[in-house]
Structure 1
Amino acid sequence: MDYLQVNRANWNARVPIHVGSDFYDVRGFKVDGRIALTPFEREEVGDVTGRSLVHLQCHFGLDTLSWARLGAEVTGLDFSDAAITQARALSDECGIPARFVTADVYDAVEALGERYDIVYTGLGALVWLPDLTRWARTVAALLKPGGFLYLAEFHPFGDILDDESGTTVTYDYFDRSPHVWEEPHTYTGSEILEHQTSVQFQHGIGEVVSAVAAAGLRMEFLHEHDHTLFARYATLVADGKEYRLPEGAPRIPLMYSLRATAAK
C-alpha cells in the first residue's frame, strides 16, 4: 500500500469537515482573535516576535497562523493540497501574513529552500511518518545555527491502554508495523468521510529522542503532561479545554513536549 497516497486522500477528505467543525472553531479564530495553541506550547516556546518559524504538517494552518498572531514570521507545510488551499484562504481572510507550501515533510528542505529559527511540529503529526530518523535529519537541515525544534505530541503510552477505561494494557508498545485503519468518521464529528482508509505508525518516546539526538540536536527538555485535548478514554473528565483521569486515580502521561537546539 502506498501510505502517502492513501493518507493524502484521507486528509484531503477531512479538510472541509474540520474547517466547519466546532472542534477547530474557525469562526472563533477569525472573529474573536482566538489563539489555537495550548498554554504549555506558548510557555515552552517563549517569545516568537520577529523570529522565523516553519510548521511542518500544518494541516489548514490554524496553529501556524496562531504563531503569526504572536509575532512570528511563519511558513506552513503540508502534503494535503486541500489543506494548503484552506490555509491560504484563512490567511488572506484574517489578514495574517504567512507562506504556505504543499509538500511531503520529507521533501521540506527542497520545497522550502530556506532555514528557520524555529521548527514547530504540533499534536498528532508523528504517527503519519514511517521514518523518524529521516524526519529528524530534515528538521536539523531546516534550522539556522542556534535555532530549535519544538515538538508537542500525544504520548505513545496512552495508545497501549484500553479505549474504554484507559487502565488496562491492551496494545503492544513496541509494535512498529504499519497500522491500516478503516474509519468512517474523523475525530471532529459524525460526518462521513469520502476516503476512510489511513495508514499510521506508532513511535515510542525512546525512538523520538534517539532520532533527534542522532540528527545532532541538543535536547533541552522532555516534558510529560497528565492531560490531553479530547476524551481519549470514556473515563476522562473535562477540565476546561483539557481532559484528565478522575481525581484520585493514578495519573499517566497523555501528552509530551520536547525542545532541541541546533549547534551555533
Structure 2
Amino acid sequence: MSPAPTAPDPANWLDHNRANWDERVPIHAAGAFYDLPGFVAGRETVPAFALAEVGDVRGKRLVHPQCHIGTETLGWARHGASVTGLDFSRPALDTAAGLAERIGVEDSRWVAANVYDAVEALDGEQFDIVYTGLGALCWLPDVERWARVMAALVRPGGFLYLAEFHPFGNTLKPDGLTVEYDYFDRSPQVWDEPGTYADFEAETEQNVTVQFDHGLGEIVSAVIKAGLRLEFLTEHEMTMFKRYDVLEERDGFLWMPEGHPRVPLMYSLRASKAAG
C-alpha cells in the first residue's frame, strides 16, 4: 500500500511557488495572454496609468523585481530605461534574455534570486526606479521585509513604484458583488490547481502554490516604515485579467459593467527616498 499523500507545507512556500512558475514559463511564452509575437512587433506592455505615474525614464536605471518573463521590464527599456530584471525562476529569465535579444535591447541584465535576497544578488547596487507589482506581493509572506528590500534598492533621490491588484478584490466571489472571504485573514493559502491565469486549460503537474494576503494599510505602512516618503496612492476601478465573471473589456483593461457597483480592483503608489 502506498503511503497517504502529505499535505503541502506552507513553510515550503518558496519551493512550491518556484516549481509552479518554472513549469508555466513555456506556457506563458507560447500563449495568447502574453502575445510575445505582438510584443516583439512593438505592442506596449506597460499599463498606461503606470507610464503616466512613473514619468520619463530616459537615461534612468530601473530594476524590476519579480519580473517573470520580462515583457514589462523590456517595455520600460523601449521607453529609454537601462533595465535589470530579477526573478526566482531561471527559465523565466532565460525567456526574458531571449526576448531582449529579439527586440535589440542590449542594455539589460537578468538576475536569478529570491526577491528577499535582491540586495545581495545585485551587489548592493541602487537604482533610480524600483518598479514592481501586478501580482507580486501575494507570493511573499512578509511584506515589511519586502519593503525594506525595495527601499534598499532605491538610490537617494530615486523612488519605488508599485502597481498591484487591490487586496479588497480577494474578498469577492466570481460575481464581483458578494463578499465571501475575510479581508483580515493573514493565514497562508495553499492552492492545488492545474492550469494558469494565462491558460486555464493548460495541462500542468506542478500545481501547488502558497499565497499570502496583505491589507492595503499594511503595505503602505511597510513602505513608510522602510524609510520611503509616500508621494501618492491611487485606487483604480479596472483590472488586467478576468477575475470576475461580470467584467467587460474596454481600452485594454477589464471593468465592471454599467450599473454594477464599482470597487477598487488595482492600486498604485509611488514612494521616494530623500536625496543624500
Common fold by TM > 0.5: yes
1:16-69 Cα distance to aligned partner (Å, 9 max, x none): 000111110100111x21121110010000000000000000001100000000
1:148-185 Cα distance to aligned partner (Å, 9 max, x none): 0000000011110112x111110000011110011111
CA distance in 1, matches of 2:246, 2:126: 44
- Mind listing any 5+ residue stretches in structure 1 that lack a counterpart? none
2:18 aligns with 8
1:38 aligns with 47
1:182 aligns with 192
CA distance in 1, matches of 2:260, 2:203: 36
1:206 aligns with 217
Normalising by the residue count of structure 1, what TM-score does the alignment of the two structures yield? 0.98
Amino acid at match of 1:36: T
SS in 2 for 1:221: strand
Q: CA deviation at 1:241?
A: 1.8
Query: 64, 70, 76: which one pairs with 1:61?
Result: 70
1:263 aligns with 274
Q: CA deviation at 1:99?
A: 0.2
Amino acid at match of 2:109: R
1:25 aligns with 35
2:258 aligns with 247
CA distance in 2, matches of 1:229, 1:134: 27
Task: Note the 1:70-109 alignment, pairs <5 A.
Answer: 70-97=79-106, 98-109=108-119
1:153 aligns with 164
CA distance in 1, matches of 2:15, 2:79: 34
Normalising by the residue count of structure 2, what TM-score does the alignment of the two structures yield? 0.93
Query: 194, 204, 207: which one pairs with 2:205?
Result: 194
Amino acid at match of 1:46: G
Q: CA deviation at 1:240?
A: 3.3
CA distance in 2, matches of 1:107, 1:170: 35
SS in 2 for 1:124: coil
2:176 aligns with 166
Query: 142, 148, 170: which one pairs with 1:131?
Result: 142
CA distance in 2, matches of 1:87, 1:12: 13
SS in 1 for 2:141: coil
| Matched pairs, number | 262
Q: Percent identity?
A: 59
1:237 aligns with 248
CA distance in 2, matches of 1:150, 1:254: 17
1:157-214 Cα distance to aligned partner (Å, 9 max, x none): 1110112x11111000001111001111101111112201100001110010010000
- Structure 1 stretches (4+) deviating beyond 6 angstroms? none
CA RMSD, 1 decimal: 0.8
2:56 aligns with 47
Amino acid at match of 1:35: E
Amino acid at match of 1:147: G
CA distance in 2, matches of 1:241, 1:132: 30
Q: CA deviation at 1:92?
A: 1.4
Note if contact 2:176-2:244 (Cα within 8 Å) is conserved in structure 1: yes
